[in-house]
Every structure is written in structure tokens, then in C-alpha cells.
Chains A and B, each alone.
Chain A
Amino acid sequence: MEAVDFALSDGQALILSGPNGAGKSTLLRAIAGLLPLAAGRLTLDDDSEEIAASLHYIGHAEGMKPALTVRENLDFWSSFLSRESAAAALAPQDALTAFGLAHVIDIPAGYLSAGQKRRIALARLLVAPRPIWLLDEPTTALDVRAQAALAAVMARHRAGGGIVLAATHSPVGLENAGELKLGTVA
């Protein structure tokens, strides 16, 4: 993978683009601390806490247990991922409403469609507030209305000083976002 260098401050967003296999997901996972860095470093200006504890990572897998209801899944991640210093977390009901999915809250996650599961994974962003969002292909399997909901949620997050990094091929509705092109063919 080539060398990359970027800095983001409050409210900014960065879109990672590039062909399949360019290293978009690898970069996001490395930022999340799920892969070791071959070289270089990541820093938070406010280094009062670890990077991993101040970010959300939405990958290809949703991290939802099929045997548990949507509410139980979100309640768990809310308890597990919330930070004491963070702003007030949304209740699972409200987080799902933001993605237009409040009616499935008592259904086991295993019964939902791919798009619904993805929206529940995105609702995790709201039940445990964290400032940095790493989104890997967030619009996969989402319909037009859900994409608009995601764009609105991301805009609100940035308005509150949050940072969004999204790896994507399709427009995700991030306005005034920087773009980092990976693996451009020479």
C-alpha cells in the first residue's frame, strides 16, 4: 500500500475512493486499530483517550446476533461501546427511528433483510456516541430513502463536531468532503 497522509478536524469528512483492492478497507481497519500499522502513526490532538475508544467502525459484517432482538443487540452495544465522557446516547428506539426502522425493534435480528441489518448496524453509531466514524461502504444494500437518512445523520454528526471517514464507490451524501484517491493506476 502507498503512503498516505491526512489530517481532519472537527466537522470534516473524508471520502476514500479507488478501485477494488486499493486498500480502502485496509486503511479504515488500520485506523480502527484492527490491523497493525506497517509504518507511521495515528494521533488525536486531544490525546486524553485511545483512538480506538473514540471511534466507530462500520465494516462489511454487521456485528449483530441473529438470536437476539434488535433492541437487545443495540442495548448491548450501547452499554459496551458508550464512553462516560460522551454526549447523551440515543435510546435504541430513537436511533432506529432516525433510520426509519423503529417497527422492527422487537424482532430477532436474524429475520431482517440485508438492508435492514445494515441500517441497524448504522443505528449503533447513535446509541453509543463517539466522535470519529469510520464507514466502510455504508450505503451497501441501502435503498434511496435509507441513503438519505444516512446522509442526514452524517450531516448532524458533523454539525456537532464529529468526523466522518467513508470508503465508498457511490456518492454517500457527504457535502464539502475531502477525497483521498487510493491506488490510482499510473
Chain B
Amino acid sequence: MKSPLAALFVREFAIARRIGGGGSMGVVFLLVLVTIVPFAIGPDLNLLRRIGPAILWIAALLAMLLGLDRLFQADFEDGSLDQLQLGATPLEFVVFVKCLAHWATTALPLVVAAPLFGVLMAQEAASMLGIGVSLLVGTPALTFIGAVGAAATVSLRRGGLLMALLVLPLCVPALIFGVSAATAASGGTIPFATPLAILAALTLASGALCPFAAAALLRRLGE
């Protein structure tokens, strides 16, 4: 028999793959954004090259928020959330594993796609690598922080906008250090490792704290 958490990861992964949407919708959203930005900016390659990492990070952040409000909502509506609380596994671990599965199905495609879309933003190879690495390190923080917002708005029919309002300010640190790491990869005054280390710290801290906050919110749903 599988361990409860391994079974949960496999289930979340299977649901995301079969329903689709999450991963491919994010990538298409990213593609749409990086396609229209150069038209709006105009034919200034230097400008495009300078703002490219920021645009890609903003697009990835918004793409991740697109489906995040559904993280617990489906489980809430079909009664699975009640059952998940009856397991011997603490709800904090359940939230953590659901975040991991959500990251693997939604953020990982973005991490792979964003550096490639960097071509549209006139990025050099080093910069594309920097964008990819910074997204790989930073996007888990966005998922964990988003999980708190998703848990807070789980019982609301149209909670998506409220969730974005709650979550976006908390994502700003990850955005700042993510973009500065991605920019530092292609030269500049600060070394690449410094913002990346802070970004990694943000991910680790949010991974350690946010599941507790989200689980506490989910437990209080009935009150």
C-alpha cells in the first residue's frame, strides 16, 4: 500500500493531467503576454532586453495566480476536504503535498517555457538561463503563499479576484528578488548568487510557514 501522502500526490497529478487547463493555460497566457508586449514597446531592442526578465516574471506570476484559487475549492465542493481531515496525516502535510503537486503541474511548465519565450524579448543565452533558474527557485514560494489565499477564499464562489488581492502583495518580495536574480545573470553590478540566495530563502520560509496558515484556515471553515 502507498503512503497517504504519496497517494495524494499521485491523485492530484492524475486529476490535473486529466482535467488539463492548469499547466497549458498558464503557458498560453505567458505566450500571449510576451507576444503583445514587444508590439506595445516598439522596436527598441535594448529596452526590450532590459525589461525582458521583469515582463517574464510578471507574466509567470499572473499565470500562476490564474488557477490557484481552485487549489482547495474542488475538494471543498465535493466533500473531499472533509475526508482529508479525517486521515491520520496532519492537514499541514496534506496542504504541502497539494502545493507540490500544483507546482509540478502548473509552475514547472512555466519554468520550462519562460526562458524559451525569452527569445521574443531579445534575451541572450545567459539571461534565459537566469530567468529559468530564478523561476525554478522562486515559483514554489508563489505557490505556498497562494495556498494561504486559496484557503482563505475557498468557500467564496468568485474568490479569484479577492485571492489575487490578498496574495499579490505577499508575492512582491519573491518578484523583486526573482527579477534581480534574472537580470544579474546577464551582467550588472550585483552577483547572480546574492538575490538567488534570498529567493531560495523566501521559498524555504514560505514552504515551512504557509502550510500551517492554510491548514489553520481550512480547519476553521465550519465556524
Interface contact A60-B85, CB-CB below 8 Å: no
Q: How many residues of A contact B (CB 8 A)?
A: 34
Specify the chain B residue showing the minimal Cβ separation from A32: B86
Residues of B within 8 A of A (CB): 1-4, 6-8, 10-11, 14-15, 18-19, 74, 77-80, 82-89, 222-223
Interface contact A61-B1, CB-CB below 8 Å: no
What 20 new A-B contacts, CB under 8 Å, besides A32-B82, A59-B82, A65-B78? A34-B85, A59-B79, A61-B77, A61-B79, A62-B78, A63-B78, A63-B82, A66-B78, A67-B14, A68-B14, A77-B83, A78-B1, A79-B1, A79-B2, A80-B83, A80-B84, A80-B89, A81-B87, A82-B1, A83-B88
Interface 1/0 per residue, A110-143 and B, CB below 8 Å: 0000000000000010000000000000000000
Specify the chain A residue showing the minimal Cβ separation from B10: A76
Q: Which of A49-57, A148-156, A161-169 contacts B (4 or more CB under 8 A)?
A: A49-57
Asked whether any CB of chain B lies closer than 8 Å to the CB of A64, the reply is yes
Asked whether any CB of chain B lies closer than 8 Å to the CB of A36, the reply is yes
- Tell me whether A80 and B78 are in contact in the complex, defined as CB-CB below 8 angstroms, given that A55-B86, A67-B15 are known contacts: no
Specify the chain B residue showing the minimal Cβ separation from A49: B88
CA distance A67 to B78 in the complex (A): 12
Interface contact A63-B80, CB-CB below 8 Å: yes
